[in-house]
Amino acid sequence: MKEVIKSRSNARVKEWLKLRDGKNPTLYLIEGEIMVSYALKLGVVETLITTDLDTPSNLASEVIYISKEVASKLTSYVTSQNVFATIKKESKPLDTSKPLIYLDDVKDPSNLGAIMRSALAFDFGGVIASRRSVNFYNDKVISAAKGAHFILPITSMDENELIEFCKKNTYKLTTTRLNNAQKSTNFAFLLKTMLVVGNEARGVSPSLHKHADATIYIPIKHIDSLNVAIAASILMEKIANQ
């Protein structure tokens, strides 16, 4: 008979709950059948956690069975999920043969996750975030990224580190603003573009604009601005398919 964790106060349950803020140095938690299945396919699951007692015990390095009550404690969704997994954080090097994107103090986890998803879709070499941006491994970022964490190189840099990185690797620092810049529709992007998008309220910092090789904006009508994840996705698609 398979052992099932039924107590919400179980030590392992407490460990898994602590993974949700993204601050654990080695592991993070994912949930939901689609994302966990993807992680299993890629072979990145450390511990599989499930309410389904029919799940084979050899499906991952460790398989742990839990009650639905424990699952409802673990989930970050409105509707309780029945399967979870812990994933090891792996440092993947940025691919400096491809375009990159830098997030200047992006605070909304849904935005960061969506940008990661688009960066993977448009074959960017990685996502770099300022150290004041939301944590890459926040549970809402993980949910919005839809598995991009498993493949996409991600790292953090402050402004000075970014500028030095661009110089060393011959990237053109290309910042964005709402107007008074070159139209993105007419702009000739280079392969080694470091696209910079900014904070949801303040945009890209003036100091980064000062160091930019170019500054662009997306022409729009009827409204004054776009959500940062949407704007980033539009520009990444243009860079990828130019």
pLDDT of residue 78: 79
The C-alpha angle with vertex 129 and arms to 118 and 115, in degrees rounded to 5, equals 15
* Matching residue, tokens 């030095």: 164
Q: Where are the domains of the chain?
A: 4-88, 100-241
Q: For residue 108, is it left (φ>0), alpha (ψ between -120 and 50) or beta?
A: beta
Whole-model pTM?
Answer: 0.94
Q: Identify the CATH number of the domain defined by range 4-88.
A: 3.30.1330.30
Walk along the chain (242 residues) and give the pLDDT tens digit of each residue: 789 999 999 999 999 999 999 999 999 999 999 999 999 999 999 999 999 999 999 999 999 999 999 999 999 887 878 999 999 999 999 999 999 999 999 999 999 999 999 999 999 999 999 999 999 999 999 999 999 999 999 999 999 999 999 999 999 999 999 988 999 999 999 999 999 999 999 999 999 999 999 999 999 999 999 999 999 999 999 999 98
Its CATH architecture, for the domain 100-241, is 3-Layer(aba) Sandwich (3.40)
pLDDT of residue 67: 97
The per-residue DSSP string of 107-130 comes to: --HHHHHHHHHHHHHTT-S-EEE-
Contact criterion met (CB below 8 Å) for 99 and 91: no
Instruction: Fill in the amino acid letter for 169.
Output: N
